[in-house]
């Protein structure tokens, strides 16, 4: 990221108001700016985890969604580890105290692709992407169709603000 790009990002109100903003025309092409969420209270997760224990289903234990600086640090670290393992994820381009910047993969979300005539093709690609992640010894946080982005004929993954291994 150039100094001009970072100045433009810091001056933007988009990521501050909506937390996530796509910015086109930077030195790195189109990028996504993700502002930090407000830190979250853990009481909801403790309640859910207590309920899971009570009914004897420990696998329902929730991964903590911390928010704030901790969630940003988790997401940046997860993106870097996944990329190092060869998993298709956005590149981390810049990290600051208030936000981080990642490459924009496009807007071809799997949940939208599953509504087309070739939905079965995309369904199989989604399953293959999951198998590939696990074959590389990695895991996802929120493997929802909305978090799979088509990049050509393959799928990349986004959204890693929590780490299931914390549960």
Does residue 124 carry a pLDDT above 90? Answer: yes
pTM of the model: 0.86
Closest CA to 80 of 92, 71, 88: 92
Q: What is the pLDDT of residues 6-23, one digit of tens each?
A: 999 999 999 999 999 999
Query: What CA–CA distance (Å, rounded) separates 167 from 46?
Result: 11
Alpha-carbon distance values, 107 to 99, 104, 149 (Å): 21, 9, 7
pLDDT at 85 (0 to 100): 98
| Maximum pairwise Cα distance, the chain | 55
Query: What CA–CA distance (Å, rounded) separates 112 from 66?
Result: 29
pLDDT at 60 (0 to 100): 74
Provide, rounded to the nearest whole percent, the portion of the chain with pLDDT above 70: 99
Contacts (Cβ under 8 Å, ≥6 apart) of 59: 52
Q: How many degrees, rounded to 5, is the angle at CA 40 between CA 146 and CA 105?
A: 25
Residue 27 DSSP code: T
- For residues 88, 65, 127, 133, the Cα torsion angle rounded to the nearest 10 degrees is 40
């Amino acid at each position: 990221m150039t100094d001009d790009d970072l100045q433009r990002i810091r001056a933007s109100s988009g990521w501050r108001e909506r937390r996530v903003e796509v910015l086109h025309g930077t030195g790195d092409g189109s990028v996504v700016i993700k502002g930090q969420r407000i830190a979250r209270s853990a009481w909801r997760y403790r309640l859910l985890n207590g309920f899971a224990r009570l009914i004897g289903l420990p696998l329902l234990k929730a991964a903590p969604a911390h928010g704030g600086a901790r969630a940003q640090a988790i997401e940046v670290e997860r993106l870097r580890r996944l990329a190092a393992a060869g998993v298709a994820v956005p590149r981390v381009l810049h990290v600051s105290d208030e936000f981080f910047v990642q490459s924009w993969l496009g807007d071809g979300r799997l949940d939208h692709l599953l509504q087309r005539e070739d939905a079965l093709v995309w369904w199989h690609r989604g399953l293959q992407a999951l198998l590939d992640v696990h074959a590389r010894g990695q895991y996802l946080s929120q493997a929802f169709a909305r978090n799979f982005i088509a990049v050509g004929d393959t799928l990349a993954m986004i959204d890693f603000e929590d780490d299931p291994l914390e549960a």
